């Protein structure tokens, strides 16, 4: 303390020295430090997920045999309905391939689906992100589409050996090309800051003036393959309000996103099978 | 400052709080609330250790926070080191070091760092009403939690310093 009093400018000189050193530090070193510190934290997040799983296991273990038998019966019904859907999908795929060959159409991009568990959520005012338990060692690439059971979840922003950061569709920095169901005209979707205690929301821009939507008559907003990240037709949200745009040519609108997005437990990453379809960000 | 290993003890305490806050924010995700009490990482060293030791702990802690963030690496490192120095300087000039004054300084440091981070990172959302509503509500809940968690965290850091046999004294009265 006495040295601080004798030389009151010392903290400022040290601070200026640090700021200069930080500014002059090569980006490679900063990147190395970032990856190192991230990798130090990743096992802690994975461990907390494992502990959570163990808690769930002990809760389930307390269930009676009757409850388990009922659950197995419900799952068996669900499985048979899924089997029917798989058969239906296979016949639809064959039909698409037949039509593509017959009409000489460009082939639609195919994706490999990789399932991943969410190990951390970070929904701050400035960004919405989740961390998943699959990384580039499992073939995850930057820019890949991430979906969940209600539609588009987001996009891979960063990949690490066994974890990846996903930027959610509700994040203020998220932007993607989209379209309305049964309408091929492209529009722009952008995430915005979400108010607390409410469902996630977003905004859409460049909406043609003939499109109308309201809370009673919402329009389904789906992904478009024009952006190069997502395949066609995955649900993003519903357009519930159309407002006049600032340019007077196009409108803008409020998009409601499914509230389950912020409590999602499992996601699927869509990896393009043919890299010629992949966006520049997606190429390894 | 490297020779004085008190920063390691502070860093350990900070890592515990970072982990606890990540668990809390993970649970609050469905409510779209995010608690921000990062000013504790830069204010507690002011009370317990000399400037350079505290600065080292602030730099490493903010690098840990930045590592998994989507904004450029070093954003909070630079901001925290700046705010830490300013508050260290203010604290030296405060005649009264009562709990109330310390709490006021801590609350203002938290509000300032949170607001500055929000303004720097989200420059494209200034015109959005929801952006400001989200910031104000998150800040409100963060400041309330800060009132309850500060005493515990100060005790934790003090215990850790004593546990590692670094005799430290509060600068407050």
CB contact under 8 A, B63 and A33: yes
Which of A35, A49, A124 would you mutate first to test chain B, the one with the most B CBs within 10 A?
Answer: A124
Using CB atoms and an 8 Å cut-off, which of residues 172-211 of chain A contact chain B? 172-173, 192-198, 200-201
Q: For residue B15, what pLDDT is reported?
A: 93
**Which of A128, A264, A149, A131 lies closest to A196, judged by CA?**
A128
Q: For residue A3, what pLDDT is reported?
A: 45
| Contact residues, chain B, for A263 at CB < 8 Å | 29-30
CA-to-CA distance for B41 and B146, rounded, in angstroms?
12
Q: Given CB atoms, is B170 within the 8 Å cutoff of chain A?
A: no
Mean pLDDT of chain A: 87
Query: Which letter does DSSP use for residue B95 in this model?
Result: S
Give the closest-approach CA distance of A263 to chain B in angstroms. Answer: 5
* For residue A279, pLDDT beyond 80: no
Same domain membership, residue A146 and residue A206: yes
* For residue A281, pLDDT beyond 80: no
Same domain membership, residue A240 and residue A139: yes
| Contact residues, chain B, for A172 at CB < 8 Å | 122, 124-125, 131
Q: Are B49 and B168 in contact (CB under 8 A)?
A: yes
H helices of B34-163, in order, are: 39-48, 51-67, 75-93, 99-121, 129-163
Same domain membership, residue A99 and residue A20: no
Q: Are B17 and B35 in contact (CB under 8 A)?
A: no
Average pLDDT over residues A7-18: 87
Question: What ipTM does the predicted assembly reach?
Answer: 0.85
Q: Are A19 and B78 in contact (CB under 8 A)?
A: yes
Q: Which domain holds residue A73?
A: 67-107
CB contact under 8 A, B25 and A30: no
| pLDDT tier at A229, thresholds 50, 70, 90 | confident
CA-to-CA distance for A221 and A203, rounded, in angstroms?
11
- How many domains are contained in chain A? 3
Same domain membership, residue A55 and residue A195: no
Q: Given CB atoms, is A32 within the 8 Å cutoff of chain B?
A: no
Same domain membership, residue A177 and residue A200: yes
Same domain membership, residue A10 and residue A137: no
Q: Which residues, including other chains, have CB under 8 Å from residue A16's CB and lie 6 or more apart?
A: none
- CA end-to-end distance (rounded Å), chain B: 26
Same domain membership, residue A75 and residue A31: no
CA-to-CA distance for A252 and A238, rounded, in angstroms?
13
Same domain membership, residue A134 and residue A99: no
Q: For residue A2, what pLDDT is reported?
A: 43
Which of B49, B83, B129, B130 would you mutate first to test chain A, the one with the most A CBs within 10 A?
Answer: B130
One pLDDT digit (tens) per residue for chain B, 173 residues: 556 678 888 999 999 999 999 989 888 877 888 899 999 999 999 988 889 999 999 999 999 999 988 788 989 999 999 999 999 998 888 777 788 888 999 999 999 999 998 888 877 777 778 888 888 999 999 999 999 999 999 999 988 888 876 655 555 43
Structural domain ending residue among the three candidates A82, A107, A132: A107
Please report where in the chains the tokens 């990384």 appear, as a residue. A135
Q: Other CB atoms closer than 10 Å to residue B90's CB: what's the count?
A: 13
Q: Are A187 and A205 in contact (CB under 8 A)?
A: yes
Q: Other CB atoms closer than 10 Å to residue A256's CB: what's the count?
A: 18
The 3-class secondary structure across A168-193, one letter per residue, is ECCCCCCEEEEEECCCCCCEEEEECC
Same domain membership, residue A118 and residue A253: yes
Q: For residue A276, what pLDDT is reported?
A: 54
């Amino acid at each position: 303390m006495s040295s601080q009093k004798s030389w009151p400018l010392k903290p400022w000189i040290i601070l200026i020295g640090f700021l200069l050193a930080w500014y002059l530090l090569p980006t490679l070193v900063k990147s190395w430090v970032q990856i190192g510190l991230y990798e130090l934290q990743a096992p802690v997040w994975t461990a907390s997920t494992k502990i959570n799983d163990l808690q769930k296991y002990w809760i389930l273990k307390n269930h009676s045999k009757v409850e388990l038998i009922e659950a197995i019966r419900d799952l068996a019904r669900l499985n048979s309905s899924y089997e029917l859907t798989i058969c239906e999908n296979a016949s639809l795929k064959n039909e698409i391939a037949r039509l593509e060959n017959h009409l000489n159409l460009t082939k639609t991009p195919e994706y490999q689906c990789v399932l991943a568990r969410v190990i951390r959520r970070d929904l701050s005012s400035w960004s919405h992100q989740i961390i998943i338990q699959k990384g580039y060692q499992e073939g995850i690439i930057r820019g890949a589409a991430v979906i969940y059971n209600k539609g588009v979840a987001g996009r891979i922003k960063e990949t690490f050996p066994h974890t990846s950061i996903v930027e959610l569709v509700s994040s203020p920095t998220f932007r993607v090309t989209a379209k309305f169901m049964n309408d091929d005209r492209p529009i722009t979707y952008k995430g915005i800051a979400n108010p607390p205690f409410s469902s996630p929301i977003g905004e859409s821009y460049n909406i043609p003036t003939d499109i109308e939507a309201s809370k009673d008559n919402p329009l389904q907003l789906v992904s478009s393959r024009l952006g190069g990240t997502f395949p066609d037709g995955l649900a993003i949200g519903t357009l519930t309000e159309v407002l006049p745009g600032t340019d007077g040519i196009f409108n803008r609108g409020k998009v409601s996103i499914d509230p389950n997005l912020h409590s999602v437990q499992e996601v699927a990453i869509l990896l393009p099978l043919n890299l010629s379809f992949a966006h520049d960000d997606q190429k390894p | 400052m490297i020779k004085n290993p008190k920063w390691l003890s502070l860093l350990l305490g900070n890592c515990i709080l970072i982990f606890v806050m990540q668990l809390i924010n993970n649970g609050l995700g469905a409510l779209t609330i995010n608690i921000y009490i990062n000013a504790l990482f830069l204010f507690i060293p002011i009370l317990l250790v000399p400037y350079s030791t505290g600065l080292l702990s602030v730099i490493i802690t903010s690098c840990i926070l930045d590592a998994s963030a989507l904004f450029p690496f070093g954003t909070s490192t630079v901001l925290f080191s700046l705010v830490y120095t300013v508050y260290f300087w203010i604290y030296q000039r405060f005649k009264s070091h009562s709990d109330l004054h310390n709490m006021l300084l801590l609350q203002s440091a938290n509000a300032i760092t949170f607001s500055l981070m929000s303004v720097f990172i989200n420059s494209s959302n200034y015109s959005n009403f929801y952006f400001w509503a989200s910031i104000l509500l998150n800040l409100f809940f963060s400041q309330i939690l800060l009132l309850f968690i500060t005493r515990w965290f100060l005790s934790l850091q003090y215990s850790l310093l004593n546990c590692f046999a670094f005799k430290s004294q509060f600068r407050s009265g």
